[in-house]
Amino acid sequence: MSSSKPSDDGLMDDIAGVVITAEEIQSRIAELGMQISADYADKDPLLVGVLRGVFVFMADLVRAITIPISVDFIGITRYGPSTRTQGVVRFTKDLEICIKERHVLFVEDVIDTGLTLRYILRSLETREPASLQVCTLFDKPRTRLFELDVTYTGFVLPDAFVVGYGLDYDERYRNLPFVGLLKEEAITRRRLPPGAQS
Amino acid sequence: MSSESKLAEPYPEPIPNQREGPIYFSHPAEEAFARVLDFYEIEWQYEPTTFPLEWDEHGRVLTAFAPDFYLVEDDQYVELTTMKQKLVTQKNRKLRLLHQLYPEVRCKLIYRRDVANLAVKYGLFEDGPMPDPCFDAEENGEDDENDEAGQAL
């Protein structure tokens, strides 16, 4: 059985097709790991990720890196139905490691508008790291609102709503090992209250 | 002769749009987008400038373009288009003219499918899909409010 087709039919039923296979993802992450290992040799980098979507990529990326590293995470509110009435963006979990004069590699699962990333980078820059670069597994440059300097990019995503490998819709599908196209009916169904008919 | 070759010089200056009181958005997607910008503390203005694009021999503006949003700190305009892809030709043409006549102006066009994807991601329309009525208006040949010279100037 291909690792792109898990037996969990409950999730697969909502997927219209595989956009990036699990094998392609792992191959690209291995390349990124090699490149980062070379670029950061003797720099003792700190990899920082923002919860929650990045945890899948971060877990595979750090294992593809062959030099000593540290890892830390931050949490941030994201715009959505549950936060839209709560004012503005804010951190929900801060770093536990001091980044001053450290070489920081900020790791993202996906960049689209760049709104979240810019907010975070500006905050990190005020803490005076020795360097601050960005690595993202997925990129959607078509919807980028600002120019952002991204050093490492895994894949450019198509202009479709995709899920899997950390990417969610309504907190689901992150555990798919591949990136898949979400069926429109799955989006419609999740919007409706329990028991309602679409 | 192409319409581009009819352009006269000197070109009219961009026209600031005077706004007082509450903002009335042309499309629910624009209002939702504004809320997202507010959440991330991005300073924005709604349709602050109209750019004349084509005019006749008397200097009367025939075609103009007022991008939906201006991101103040980034000196960047953003236009959300909710038209179907096959009907975006006119808007692409305006954007091309904008870049030709005002090369210093940066304007980002976000297409319908991308708007829809962002709507899903941010849960902008949790009661249903992105509202359609304005799609119909645009598909019938009506463009965004203030885009046409007759409405904007």
Identify the segments of chain A with pLDDT beneath 70: 1-9, 81-86, 189-198
CATH code for position A91 = 3.40.50.2020
How many structural domains does chain A have? Answer: 1
| Residue A61 covered by a domain | yes
Q: What is the model's pLDDT at position A193?
A: 44
Would an 8 Å CB–CB cutoff place A122 in contact with chain B? no
Does B69 reside within a domain? yes
In a domain, B91, yes or no: yes
In a domain, A52, yes or no: yes
A143 assigned to some structural domain: yes
Q: Å from B59 to nearest chain A CA? A: 34
B87 vs B10, residue with greater confidence? B87
Q: Which of residues 84-123 of B touch A (CB under 8 A)?
A: 108, 110-111, 113-114, 116-118, 120-123
Distance CA B11, CA A115 (A): 35
* Assigned domain for A197 exists: no
Report d(CA B149, CA A129) in Å as an integer: 50
Question: What distances in angstroms separate CA B139 from CA A72, A135, B13, B78, B89, one per listed residue?
Answer: 49, 40, 30, 21, 12
- For residue A24 the two structure tokens come to 């392609």
Task: Identify whether A112 is a catalytic site residue.
Answer: yes
- For residue B17, the model assigns a pLDDT of 85
Q: Quick: pLDDT tens for A133-143.
A: 999 999 998 88
- Taking CA–CA distances from B78, the nearest residue in chain A reads A145
Strand pairing partners for A132? A104
Q: How far apart are CA B4 and CA A99, in angstroms?
A: 54
Is residue B130 in some structural domain?
A: yes
Tell me the per-residue pLDDT of B89-147, one tens digit each, with 9 for 90 and over: 888 899 999 999 999 999 998 888 788 777 777 776 655 555 543 443 344 343 443 44
> A17: distance to nearest CA of chain B, Å?
17
Closest of B49, B38, B59 to residue B16, by C-alpha: B49
CB atoms B41 and A83 under 8 Å: no
Q: Is there a domain that residue B68 lies in?
A: yes
Q: What is the pLDDT of residues B56-87, one digit of tens each?
A: 888 888 899 999 999 999 999 999 887 766 66
**What is the pTM for the complete model shown?**
0.80
Q: What angle do CA A22, A28, A29 make, to 5 degrees?
A: 90
Residue of A nearest to B127 (CA): A191
Q: What is the mean pLDDT of residues B32-49?
A: 91
Distance in angstroms (rounded) separating the CA atoms of residues A73 and A55:
9
CA angle A188, A194, A196 (to 5 degrees): 65
- Structural domain contains residue A44: yes
What residues contact B104, with CB distance under 8 A and at least 6 apart? none
Is the ipTM, as predicted for this complex, more than 0.90?
no
Domain that holds residue A39: 23-160
DSSP-assigned letters across all residues of A49-85: EETTTTHHHHHHHHHH--S--EEEEEEE---STTTTT
Question: What's the structural domain count of chain B?
Answer: 1
A150 in a domain, yes or no?
yes
